Amino acid sequence: MKEWPTSLLGRLPITQTDMKTSARGFVAEALAHRGSGRRPFYSTSANGQVLALCGKDPDFVRLMMKADQIHADGMPMVLYSRLFSARPLPERVATTDLVHEVARLAEQQGLSFYFLGASEEINAKAVEAMRKAYPKLAFAGRRNGYFSRDEEAGVVEAINAAKPDILWIGLGVPLEQQFIERNIDRLNGVGVVKTSGGLFDFISGKNPRAPQWMQDAGLEWVYRAMREPRRLGMRYLTTNPQAIGALIRHSS
């Protein structure tokens, strides 16, 4: 398994990598795990919400540390590292962009995806959109994220039976990290597991991305808050200061 260099940001070892290197790493891990029955390679992401949770919840830090790789899915983290870290991050690796970079390579290598999460309608639309954008991309399966703990074993069994090379899990923070902790040693038919947050909402077209200049400036959260002020406005007003505090106190 490749050893990924890291930078300590807000209690977390954030992987020093770029988008293309991350995508190639997913492909390499997926191919190496095929038919091995081994624990899948586990990649997750950190943004302001995650850093805020890490700053106040040691149990969540422990959950995040279970991952083999933690991407910086927030431009403010990258900008902070460039100003204050001895090991600055090369770029943001947003899951909403990474999925497309991986899909292009997966088409070439014959790798399969599985989407787990979101509502039935959004999940189906996300798969349909990916198939339209990448006609040669194989989908081993899909499932919405509405299931009980009693149904969880059956969900894992179905995923293993489908044998996807890359499993994208969009259950939201911290539910997706908790799901993986409970089941990663049983997901022995999977090559790579990637937490995905609200990825399927964007792929399906339910939520649009911010303009590129806002993404580059680290202001995508402002765009989202403007579109959903009731749901996201207060969350960002609360988590952003906490995330900044975590960066200042627990980075190197």
Mean pLDDT of the chain: 92
Q: What pLDDT score was predicted for residue 154?
A: 98
Higher local confidence (pLDDT), 228 or 122: 122
Evaluate if residue 230 carries a pLDDT over 90.
no
Q: What pLDDT score was predicted for residue 216?
A: 78
> In 63-205, which ranges are E strands?
69-72, 112-117, 138-143, 166-170, 192-195
Q: Are 161 and 176 in contact (CB under 8 A)?
A: no
Structure token pair of residue 198? 């609200």
Q: Are strands 112-117 and 138-143 parallel, antiparallel or unpaired?
A: parallel
Residues 138-167: pLDDT tens digits?
999 999 999 999 999 999 999 999 999 999
**Residue 221: pLDDT band by 50, 70, 90 thresholds?**
confident
**Residue 2: pLDDT band by 50, 70, 90 thresholds?**
low
Domain regions of the chain by residue span: 6-249
Residues 92-139: pLDDT tens digits?
999 999 999 999 999 999 999 999 999 999 999 999 999 999 999 999
Residues 84-98: pLDDT tens digits?
988 999 999 999 999
Angle 239-241-246 from CA coordinates, rounded to 5° = 90
Q: What pLDDT score was predicted for residue 170?
A: 98
Range name among 47-56, 77-86, 179-188, 209-218 with the lowest pLDDT average: 209-218
Q: What pLDDT score was predicted for residue 234?
A: 64
Q: Are 221 and 241 in contact (CB under 8 A)?
A: no
Residue with tokens 């399969």: 112
Angle 21-24-27 from CA coordinates, rounded to 5° = 150
| Dihedrals phi, psi of 67, to nearest 5 degrees | -75, 150
Q: How far apart are CA 32 and CA 41, in angstroms?
A: 10
